[in-house]
Copies of this chain bind each other. A is one copy, B any other.
Amino acid sequence: MPLADIKEGLRDAKAVDTVVEMLGQRFGSRCQTGRALREQHAHTTSYIPPQPPDAVVYPETAEEVQAIVRLCNEHRVAIVPFGVGTSLEGHVNAPSGGICLDMGRMNRVIEVNQADLDCTVEPGITRTQLNSYLRDTGLFFPLDPGADATIGGMAATRASGTNAVRYGTMRENVIALEAVMADGTLIRTAHRARKTSAGYDLTRLLVGSEGTLGIITSVTLRLQGIPETIAGGLCAFPTLEAACNAVVMTIQMGVPVARIEILDAMQMKACNAYSGLNYAQVPTLFVEFHGNDETVAIHSRTFGDIAAEFGGSDFQWTRDPEERARLWDARHNAYFASLQLRPGANGLSTDVCVPISRLAECIAGTQADIAELGLLAPIVGHAGDGNFHVLALMDMQDRAEIDRVEEFVRRLNSRALSMDGTCTGEHGIGQGKQRFLVEELGDALQPMRQIKRALDPNGILNPGKIFALET
């Protein structure tokens, strides 16, 4: 299992004591060592056991982050950056102990440039906090990974979500970053121009680096104008393949769908039960269009025609916000609906991503595995990107069941890789997917490790994540 790979070398009790004492002197009540708080900061929603840090520190400025990083680097003590703890692959665990940097107090909006459709924020702001702040500007930050994650956390895991098909992922939406490197240097990776060819793309290198190369202290983001009109709807299909073919055709025809989500029959069953709905328990697409009254109507009609061509039911869509919310309710509550399929069970949420031409086959194979292994595991996917999630419900006391879930995850990732896909479309590697990363990228891990060693020679930044340096 991945955890076997984790480096323990940093754990020098005396060094940690020294650092914690010095941080206590400087930060007072903003440096905490209580057990409950430390455990809360190692909270993960995966089945990986929590590994708490030795202390939690709450910096308020980039200068404070620099001071903490310098101190930890000098004493070879690990640093684990923390947003709100919504990551799914053990990213905030502290296998080598050390200092958790809770970025929650660095949650200011630094500037909004309305004419340029950009803003610069501190990393601890959450996406809904940002959108509340922006409301009066007519702009919004579109990315929606479901959870109310922090912008810093989303950048660090290269997050995306339901509307990446239209607006891209954090890769496309981060214009620039400020980050504290392992030696305490504060760098700015770029300025505010929409595009640049000036040197190595450090922005993109830090986006998705999961806190292992630098601590993000500010993020400059692209924003979008709030659409004049949003249309939403849903459409049931006789088979998975039919639904996926409709998705492929929609993308191929360049219909600018803002969201296009697939829910499998089991997920629809869960949604019906949870929300008292009566939808057909068959593969269903939920779609959304952004534009004005005229363009969303054109695109909705085009999508309806495509859906009909592939045997989809009558496409119900609306421009009315309340009606749209009602239609989309099943999708929005999918996660909680799934958990209610088996009250008391834990849910392991995993993700893979494949070329969209392989999506139907990949989901069908996954469903066959679920059946064969006797699991309860609904599927919901960002179909336009070929990205889907399986929420495996399991009893954490039942070792045999956990083993079956692990076997299931292994098969899921191998299948995605065999289809030219990736072991993670948006959750990241963390601790949970390290062996799949090796399977996926092989020799490309060597330059990754060389970069890690060059930028963080003492290995203090979020050790034990993405790859164990020794392997």
Contacts and interface: CB of A to CB of B under 8 A. Distances in A.
A298 B207 CA distance: 37
A467 B199 contact: yes
Contacts of A252: 114-115, 117, 225
Nearest to A387: B195
Nearest to A424: B197
B429 A385 contact: no
Given A197-B428, A252-B225, A357 B187 contact: no
Given A115-B252, A185-B446, 6 more contacts: A113-B355, A115-B355, A158-B197, A200-B448, A202-B448, A454-B454
Interface residues of A, number: 94
Nearest to A157: B197
A230 to B, nearest CB: 12
B448 A191 contact: no
A189 B454 CA distance: 19
Given A295-B295, A443-B186, A455-B450, A423 B198 contact: yes
A420 interface: yes
Closest A-B pairs by Cβ, 8 of them: A204-B204, A454-B454, A115-B357, A196-B422, A193-B353, A192-B420, A187-B444, A116-B355
Contact of A455 (B191, B290, B442, B451): B451
B356 A116 contact: yes
B428 A181 contact: no
A193 B355 contact: yes
Contacts of A189: 441, 444
29 contacts: A113-B355, A115-B356, A116-B356, A116-B357, A117-B252, A158-B197, A164-B195, A171-B204, A188-B441, A190-B441, A191-B417, A191-B420, A191-B440, A193-B353, A193-B354, A193-B421, A194-B353, A194-B355, A195-B422, A197-B428, A198-B422, A198-B429, A198-B440, A199-B444, A201-B208, A202-B448, A225-B253, A295-B295, A447-B455
Residue of A115, A290, A421, A429 contacting most chain B CB atoms (<10 Å): A115
A331 interface: no
B187 A446 contact: yes
A453 interface: yes
B425 A193 contact: yes
A93 interface: no
Interface in A204-248: 204-205, 207-209, 213-214, 224-225, 227, 248
Contact of A451 (B164, B187, B200, B295): B200
A341 to B, nearest CB: 27
B355 A118 contact: yes
Nearest to A89: B197
A172 interface: yes
Contacts of A198: 422-424, 428-429, 433, 436-437, 440-441
Interface in A403-420: 416-417, 420
Contacts of A385: 193-195
A466 interface: yes
Contacts of A450: 454-455
Contact of A202 (B424, B444, B466): B444
Contact of A196 (B185, B190, B253, B353): B353
A50 interface: no
A189 B451 CA distance: 14
Which of the listed residues A198, A253, A453 has the most CB atoms from chain B within 10 Å of its own CB? A198
A269 interface: no
A37 B459 CA distance: 48
A58 to B, nearest CB: 26
Nearest to A178: B444
A52 B205 CA distance: 33
A153 interface: no
Interface string A93-117: 0000000000000000000011111
A125 interface: no
Nearest to A165: B194
A159 B195 CA distance: 10
Contacts of A322: none
A227 to B, nearest CB: 7
A32 interface: no
Contacts of A444: 187-189, 199, 202
